[in-house]
Structure 1
């Protein structure tokens, strides 16, 4: 009897051991794959950092440099003093920050309306907003340019900020997040005498803080990296944003790659700081609304 019981136990233990070995092997392969992917992505970034410490004549040497040089401050001085990159950095910070703050509020308010209110044409309007995501930005380039000309806003901050205050993706993201806010919470606030605006600011927005962080990162990154539209509406160098200023560093016959790569490194620093500051909310914000309670 004991032998009959021992045999199934041994078989079960053997299967458990085989399963654990398979899981360990699968986990090992996945770890190696992720490590290789991370290496492929981080090596160009490391090369960028190293290249900014060398003059243009030494950047593309073979074999490439693997350690830092002593030319970083010269490249930085050339970038900001000779190329006027400080104006571009200031313009991009002002435009991206103001646009992100206002656009996040507008997208949140629109998402709240679509998620928690019932009004005629709600679904049709939302479908139209989602369908506009498939519309290439180049299609609206000429109409926007004509509007800026008629308003006299060429080469100004409003020409860069106003067209990007209602972003369809931001509205979609916030609507999905607002859908997960319990209706009972909103009803309780209304019963306690809170108006709709106060309920939205003090009850709903703190609840969807992760989605706000994710939306802020997406909107800031999109505005910071926008190149074609600012290139069309900006006329003078002192009004350039960072992408346009970086493009202007490329000459017809020669290019100062030391200044160009240093400008690239400087341009990605604000985005990295923003992401590091909001990273703990980022994944939670992307998953907001995916699970119904």
Structure 2
């Protein structure tokens, strides 16, 4: 074991308190002790280097594994995207094909209907005819909030036979009548309707007045800016098996205008 000493003018003097003695300035080791200490320091440094190397290796392995997992996830995501894109394209192609079939079916049905009803030109006539238009009392609301209003109900015969499915006819006829709104090119505009509202009268009143219909005073049933408009409400449909054609039945707020000759039933 090393000696704890104090350096003096005459050399080194051992201190009685050992390592804890405040006068201790040096430690004298034997050659064996010194070599042992060097080995311990070297071993500690080697352990530190090994630990650092292992830590760096673990970090690199973790980074490689993370990169691999990310690349795998990206690859799988790309494969999934490709699969869904192909499925979507196939679905779109099928939809386009079915739409084309439906369009051809509707076109053929319209031309046959025009020929059967002697509407000319067979290929150019819209195939729509106004069957009747009558004023009716319409009720909406419940209980003490029940309200009455006079609306007009119009029946338009479509060019589509009752053998065609309802969902196909409903979509097609609504689009053809309104052209997504009562524009100058729409059929309803030709018969004097200014606007199309895709809902009920009660819903329209609530929407236009921004408050529930049961809170609207009866004398102001309709906002002043809309009183002169002829507004068509969402149509419902019926299959007329006597004539063999689907008919659109809808209410509107004012009488029809002058119905063109080519649209009279």
Using the size of structure 1 for normalisation, the TM-score is 0.26
Larger Rg: 2
Greater helix share, structure number: 1
Identify the structure with the greater strand proportion.
2
Larger RCO (CA under 8 A, 6+ residues apart): 1
TM-score, normalized by length of structure 2?
A: 0.28
